[in-house]
């Protein structure tokens, strides 16, 4: 609780004026309304995923299922494709985040040290890429023609390995560590890598968590590179898999084939919703535990360094 | 120690090689990121020369024959250009305006919440959509505005006619803005809330002793003090006004050409041009146009930021 909150509480206890009552009411009403606005899509997703297809076709999408069924979920898991997509997404999220963090730290740490002479030049070199870029076509040609990375799972990791924004945020975290710490280790004869490992990283855990989560979220939600470079559906990540489910009848046909049902009898609407629920499930589950790192990260990242 | 360093310095010299040698571990660490940036950011920049070429796959980026400004002549004669430029800038302006307004208002209200539990729960809820991908959003959007969606059920309930949103471009900019607010406004409050809680409490105390009520505290103190942050963040976003949000717009609109007139932005246009594979020189020319104009806008917005508040300028 900040001083201001404490003061406000004191004041309220003394007397709650008309302005306070009006304001408190407005606050609760508006915030609740906005929360509702944020939640309705989730409620709709979950409700419709448990509804029977006939009811969806007859009555439309739901905020509460009138006839509860888990048929759509059975279909989704029977078809098995979602498992594969999960595997791809988990692979690119874990590998991608680890490698991204490694590259980011290795670039951000030297840039946070004053004694590095070409710091300014390297900073500009990285920074410029945030202002100017080659755009889609040259990147596409580079990756598909010259690097020949089409239909390779790494194409969803390597081209997005380093995010300059995250890197500069990491650098700001490192800069906020008192220099005396590494100075002392340096005098004890430790070299830079040891200092980074033994001194800097242990005290940067909140920063590492924040940047790591930003990377992980980026990889988890990625579909762009899959759309550009992946043709084999066995390499589709979750997000691109559900995107295809919305778009193409082919994906539904494939599911019908896998579960041995006629397309007409396949509950396609509820299957879409069930697949989406299965996709966002882990995020909703992990979210409460990691939320504070995002919040604190924004603040440190916004300090100019 | 220091004498040793001095000796080393004299021995190795002060130039590039000397510096690289002396701090070889640090430079070796950086080299990974630098090489990556060189390959994945700078080579594509060089690849923009395709805009001046008649591209074919066999000859590739560097051997394809030059055509001078032909691709650009073609581009500037194209009537799509005005539409996609207008949409990109206009939609981004709407995003900035509405997201900022909603974020600021929510932040002002959040700091007034007394109940700790309500504060924590509601804050978690409004930030949650930030974690959801546009692919997922496009999925539930059908359930909201589709033929059998909630909105049309509501219309039917009110005895109004259904609206075929996916066939009618009229409402789409508003839809995009609403979704942007849904996804980002809550997340955007974080920085404003932190700024407000950082304000000097003594000023508030003094104003309260002078008899100011809570509305006056907000309108006379908080909002004026918040102005700098708002202006700076807005200017920063304006720097990116020439870049359409491909991830959002393509995920939501896809290849629904009925909606292009109101929603097609430069980035989605380039993607389709690339996919149709007809003339890569042309689509690169569009990228070239976007990158250069975008660059000028970033420089201009930064210049303006520095004039207003040197500390907030990016460079």
Going from N- to C-terminal start, the domains of chain B cover 2-52, 78-312
pLDDT confidence bin for A185, thresholds 50/70/90:
confident
Say which residues have a Cβ less than 8 Å from residue B59's Cβ, sequence separation at least 6: B65
Confidence of residue A115 (pLDDT cuts 50, 70, 90): confident
Which of A198, A219, A247 corresponds to the end of one domain?
A: A247
Q: Are residues A92 and A220 in the same domain?
A: yes
Cβ atoms within 10 Å, residue A103: 21
Domain assignment of residue A267, yes or no:
no
Q: How confident is the model at residue B3 (pLDDT cuts 50, 70, 90)?
A: very low
- Domain presence at residue A177: yes
What CATH number does the domain containing A212 carry?
A: 1.10.3720.10
If you search the block for the tokens 């300059």, which residue do you land on? A164
Mutation target for A interface from B131, B204, B273, B291: give the one with most A CBs within 10 A.
B131
Rounded to a whole number, what is the distance in Å from the CA of B32 to chain A's nearest CA? 7
**Does some domain include residue A286?**
no
Residue A254 has pLDDT above 80, yes or no: no
pLDDT, average across residues B94-101: 97
Least Cα distance to A104 among A126, A84, A82, A129 occurs for A126
Q: For B315, which of A127, A193, A239 is closest by C-beta distance?
A: A127
Model confidence at A18, in pLDDT bands (50, 70, 90)?
Answer: confident
CA distance B64 to chain A (A): 13
Which domain-ending residue is among A74, A106, A129?
A: A74
Residue A192 and residue A274 in contact, taking contact as beta carbons nearer than 8 Å: no
Please indicate whether, in this complex, the C-beta atoms of B251 and A48 are within 8 angstroms of each other.
Answer: no
- Model confidence at B309, pLDDT cuts 50, 70, 90, reads confident
Tell me the angle at which helices A268-302 and B134-145 cross, rounded to the nearest 10 degrees. Answer: 130
pLDDT value, residue A25: 92
Q: How many domains does chain A have?
A: 2
When CB atoms are compared, the residue of B30, B143, B148 closest to A122 is B30
Average pLDDT over residues B88-116: 95
The verdict on A53 and A170 lying in the same domain is no
Residues A146 and A177 in one domain: yes
Is-contact A160 A103, C-beta < 8 A? Answer: no
User: Do residue A229 and residue A111 come from a single domain?
Assistant: yes
Residue A262 confidence (pLDDT): 67
Overall fold of domain B78-312: MetI-like fold (1.10.3720)
Q: Of A180, A169, A170, A198, which Cα lies nearest the Cα of A302?
A: A169
Yes or no: say if B233 and A36 are a contact pair by the CB < 8 Å rule.
Answer: no
Q: Judge contact between A151 and A231, C-beta under 8 A.
A: yes
Domain that holds residue A235: 80-247
Give the CA distances from residue A243 to residues A233, B128, B167, in Å, rounded to whole numbers and listed in that order.
Answer: 12, 20, 20
Which residue in the set A24, A118, A138 is minimally distant from B48, CB to CB?
Answer: A138
User: Looking at the domain assignment, is residue A287 inside a domain?
Assistant: no
- pLDDT the model gives residue B1: 43
* Chain B residues closer than 8 Å to A34 by CB: 106, 126, 186
pLDDT of res. A300: 61
Residues A93 and A24 grouped into a single domain: no
Q: Which of A74, A89, A106 is the last residue of a domain?
A: A74
Compute the mean pLDDT over every residue in chain B, rounded to the nearest whole number.
89
Among the ranges given (A54-63, A149-158, A271-280, B294-303), the one the predictor scored with the smallest mean pLDDT: A54-63
A107 to B204: CB separation less than 8 angstroms, yes or no = no
Residue A57 inside a domain? The answer is: yes
All residues of chain B having their beta carbon less than 8 Å from the beta carbon of residue A123 are none
The angle subtended at Cα B173 by Cα B166 and Cα B100, nearest 5°, is: 140
Tell whether A221 and A167 lie within a shared domain.
Answer: yes
Residue among B44, B208, B290 minimizing CB distance to A11: B208
Residue A278 forms contact with B (CB below 8 Å): no
8 Å CB contact between A49 and A72: yes
Same domain (yes/no): A98, A215: yes
Q: How far apart are CA B124 and CA A291, in angstroms?
A: 8
Residue A253 falls inside a structural domain: no
- CA angle in degrees (0–180, nearest 5) for B74-B80-B83: 140
Q: Would you say residue B292 has pLDDT above 60? A: yes
Kindly state whether residues A65 and A125 are assigned to the same domain.
no
Inform me whether the pLDDT recorded for A88 exceeds 60.
yes
Residue A225 is assigned to a structural domain of this protein: yes
Residues on chain A touching B128 (C-beta within 8 angstroms)? 38, 284, 287
State pLDDT tens for residues B22-62: 788 899 999 999 999 999 999 999 999 999 988 888 888 88
Spatial distance between the Cα atoms of A266 and B304, rounded to a whole number of angstroms: 58
Q: What is the pLDDT of residue B2?
A: 46
State whether A58 and A89 are in the same domain: no
How does residue B92 score in pLDDT terms, banded at 50, 70 and 90? very high
For residue range A64-76, what is the model confidence (pLDDT) as tens digits? 888 898 888 988 8
pLDDT at A15: 58
What pLDDT is recorded for position A67? 87
Q: Using CB atoms, which residue from B26, B29, B61 is nearest to A141?
A: B61
Give the tens place of pLDDT for each residue, A132-184: 999 899 999 999 989 999 999 999 999 999 999 999 989 988 988 888 888 88
Looking at the structure, tell me whether residues A85 and A22 fall in a common domain: no
Contact A136 B270 (CB under 8 A): yes
In a domain, A296, yes or no: no
């Amino acid at each position: 609780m900040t001083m201001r909150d404490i003061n406000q509480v004191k004041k309220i206890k003394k007397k709650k004026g008309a302005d306070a009552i009006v304001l408190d009411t407005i606050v609760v009403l508006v915030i609740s309304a906005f929360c509702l606005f944020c939640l309705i899509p989730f409620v709709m997703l979950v409700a419709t995923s448990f509804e029977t297809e006939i009811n969806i076709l007859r009555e439309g999408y739901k905020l509460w299922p009138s006839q509860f069924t888990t048929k759509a979920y059975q279909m989704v898991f029977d078809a098995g494709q979602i498992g594969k997509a999960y595997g791809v997404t988990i692979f690119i999220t874990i590998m991608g985040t680890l490698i991204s963090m490694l590259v980011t730290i290795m670039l951000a740490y030297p840039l946070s040290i004053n004694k590095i002479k070409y710091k300014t030049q390297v900073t500009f070199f990285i920074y410029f890429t945030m202002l100017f870029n080659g755009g889609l076509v040259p990147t596409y040609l580079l990756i598909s023609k010259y690097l020949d990375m089409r239909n390779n799972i790494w194409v969803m990791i390597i081209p997005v390995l380093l995010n300059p924004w995250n890197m500069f945020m990491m650098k700001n975290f490192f800069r906020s560590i008192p220099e005396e710490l590494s100075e002392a280790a340096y005098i004890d004869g430790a070299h830079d890598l040891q200092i980074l490992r033994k001194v800097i990283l242990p005290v940067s855990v909140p920063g590492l968590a924040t940047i790591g989560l930003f990377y992980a979220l980026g990889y988890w939600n990625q579909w762009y590179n899959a759309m550009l470079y992946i043709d084999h559906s066995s390499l589709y990540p979750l997000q691109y898999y559900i995107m295809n489910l919305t778009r193409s009848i082919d994906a539904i046909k494939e599911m019908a084939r896998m579960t041995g049902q006629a397309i007409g009898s396949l509950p396609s609407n509820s299957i879409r919703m069930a697949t989406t629920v299965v996709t966002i499930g882990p995020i909703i589950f992990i979210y409460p535990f990691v939320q504070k790192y995002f919040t604190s990260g924004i603040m440190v990242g916004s300090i100019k360094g | 120690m220091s004498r040793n360093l001095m000796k080393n310095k004299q021995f190795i010299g002060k130039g590039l090689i000397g510096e690289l040698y002396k701090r070889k571990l640090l430079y070796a660490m950086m080299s990974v990121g630098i090489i990556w940036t060189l390959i994945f950011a700078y080579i594509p920049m060089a690849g923009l020369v395709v805009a001046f070429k008649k591209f074919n796959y066999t000859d590739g980026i560097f051997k394809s024959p030059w055509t001078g400004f032909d691709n650009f002549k073609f581009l500037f004669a194209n009537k799509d250009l005005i539409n996609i430029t207008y949409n990109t800038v206009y939609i981004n302006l709407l995003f900035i305006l509405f997201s900022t307004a909603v974020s600021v208002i929510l932040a002002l209200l959040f700091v007034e919440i007394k109940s700790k539990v309500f504060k924590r729960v509601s804050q978690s809820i409004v930030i949650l959509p930030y974690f959801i991908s546009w692919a997922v959003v496009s999925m539930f959007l059908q359930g909201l505005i589709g033929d059998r969606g909630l909105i049309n059920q509501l219309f039917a309930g009110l005895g109004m006619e259904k609206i075929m949103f996916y066939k009618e471009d009229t409402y789409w900019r508003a839809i995009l803005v609403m979704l942007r607010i849904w996804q980002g406004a809550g997340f955007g409050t974080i920085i404003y809330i932190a700024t407000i809680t950082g304000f000097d409490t003594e000023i508030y105390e003094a104003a309260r002793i002078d008899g100011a009520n809570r509305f006056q505290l907000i309108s006379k103190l908080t909002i004026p003090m918040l102005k700098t942050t708002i202006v700076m963040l807005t200017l920063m976003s304006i720097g990116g006004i020439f870049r359409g949000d491909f991830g959002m717009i393509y995920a939501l609109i896809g290849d629904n050409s009925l909606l292009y007139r109101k929603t097609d932005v430069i980035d989605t246009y380039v993607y389709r041009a690339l996919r149709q594979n007809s003339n890569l020189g042309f689509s690169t020319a569009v990228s070239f146009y976007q990158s250069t104009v975008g660059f000028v806008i970033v420089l201009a917005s930064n210049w303006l930021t520095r004039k207003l508040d040197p500390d907030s300028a990016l460079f």
